[in-house]
Amino acid sequence: MESNGGIENARLGALATAVPDHVLNQDDVMRGAAKLFKGSFHDFDRLIPVFKNAAIGTRHSCVPIDWYLEEHSFAERNALFVENAVDLLEQAVLRCLERAGLAIADVDVLVVASTSGIAAPSLDALLVERLEMRRTVQRLPIFGLGCAGGVIGMARAGALARAMPGANVVFAVVELCGLTFRFKDRSKSNVIATALFGDGAAAAVVNTEMSGPELFAWGEHTWPDTLEIMGWRIEDDGFGVLFSRDIPNLVRSKMRHAAEQFLADNDLALEDIDEFVCHPGGAKVLTALEEAFGLQSGGLAHGRETLRQYGNMSAATIMFVLERSLQHNGASGARRLMSSLGPGFTAGFLVLDGA
How far apart CA 334 and CA 275 sit, in angstroms, is: 7
How far apart CA 27 and CA 58 sit, in angstroms, is: 9
Question: Catalytic pick from 62, 147, 177, 278?
Answer: 147
How far apart CA 68 and CA 33 sit, in angstroms, is: 9
How far apart CA 197 and CA 286 sit, in angstroms, is: 15
Q: How many CA atoms lie within 13 A of 30 on its CB side?
A: 17
Query: For this structure, is 62 an active site residue?
Result: no
Residues known to be catalytic: 147
